[in-house]
Structure 1
Amino acid sequence: MLKKIKMFTDGSCLGNPGAGGYGTILRYKLHEKILTSGFYLTTNNRMELMAVISGLECLNQSCLVQITTDSLYVKKGITDWMPVWKKKEWRTTKKKRVKNIDLWLRITDVLEKHLVNWLWIKAHVGHLENERCDIIARESAKNPSFKDFYYENNQL
């Protein structure tokens, strides 16, 4: 039987691009784990993706995961756009390379290990965990410690 995990995520960027951070809360029964990191130069969408990736990569066995996010970019990217991108060799309908392909490929790999349900919520409407993730992400953006090498080396 798979463990049931609740994951709450948010990404933040102070300027876009700019310093960014993500916040992830993982919950299993009464246990809670917080994941976060800050980057010197990145984008909001990259931080939204990193919040999900860090949470899923942290799980050391296959789980049933409910991910709550305020990012339509992440939710639609995974549920709607990614199957089309894969068929088109990671190209958009306009035949351009998919932005943030390094993270989309990373999330593709980690999603294969888990059963995931997606819950999209509107941002900044008082959802407790989303508000906590937002605070965590903004604090990490204010105190970055990592370079986002892919973003810095692959700007269009």
Structure 2
Amino acid sequence: MNPEVTTAATDGSSLGNPGPGGWAWVTEDGREGFAGARRSTNNRMELRAVLELLLAVDTGGPLVVQTDSAYVIGVFTEWLARWRARGMRTASNKPVENVDLIELIDRALQGRDVTFEKVLGHSTHVLNNRADALAHGAAQRAKQRLAREVLGQ
């Protein structure tokens, strides 16, 4: 018997780059997770969404991660092996950014059947739109919290 495939969308948002950020994941069966960060980049929030999905959803079967992030797709389908061969340096010999999250995700992928799928963002993709709204909302709430802290409230 083949386990059923779980499909999920992930997204990240940053209000400024860096700035207050948010991440979110949503599964087709209605599960979701999201949170904000005081200061982050869009790429870190995109990665964090994937990490949190992998930590929260133990499917026991195949997982399809849908993302509108070419960065996430590139890291886990093309670049990581080359970066490792170069000592975690890019083709231009710069240190790879976000290594901490990339390594955590790579460990969480071990032994799992996970496929990354590129989807068009901000379109008619229902799961991506939901993840985008949750991530953006989390970033907005993080921005509001920071503003209250600045005002001493």
TM-score by length of 1: 0.84
| Inter-partner Cα distance in structure 2 for 1:118 and 1:41 | 26
| Inter-partner Cα distance in structure 1 for 2:71 and 2:22 | 16
Q: Give the structure with higher Rg (CA).
A: 2
**CA 1:139 to 1:67, structure 2 compared with 1: closer, same or farther past 3 Å?**
same
**Cα displacement string for residues 96-121 of structure 1 (whole angstroms, at most 9, x for unaligned residues):** 21000101111110111311112101
Q: What amino acid does structure 1 have at the position aligned with 2:17?
A: N
Does the 8 Å CA contact 1:62/1:113 hold for their aligned counterparts?
no
| Inter-partner Cα distance in structure 2 for 1:81 and 1:16 | 22
Q: Give 5+ residue unaligned stretches, structure 2.
A: 144-153
* Aligned with 1:47 (options 45, 57, 69): 45
**Cα displacement string for residues 51-96 of structure 1 (whole angstroms, at most 9, x for unaligned residues):** 1111011133643111110000000111010111122221112222
| Inter-partner Cα distance in structure 2 for 1:81 and 1:103 | 15
Matched residue count: 142
Identity score, percent? 33
TM-score by length of 2: 0.86
Q: Give 5+ residue unaligned stretches, structure 1.
A: 146-156
Counterpart of 2:12?
11
* Aligned with 2:54 (options 53, 56, 64): 56
Question: Aligned Cα RMSD in Å?
Answer: 1.6
Does the 8 Å CA contact 1:90/1:98 hold for their aligned counterparts?
yes
| Inter-partner Cα distance in structure 2 for 1:113 and 1:127 | 29
| Inter-partner Cα distance in structure 1 for 2:74 and 2:67 | 11
Q: What amino acid does structure 1 have at the position aligned with 2:138?
A: S
- My pick for the range that moved more, 88-97 or 41-50, is 88-97
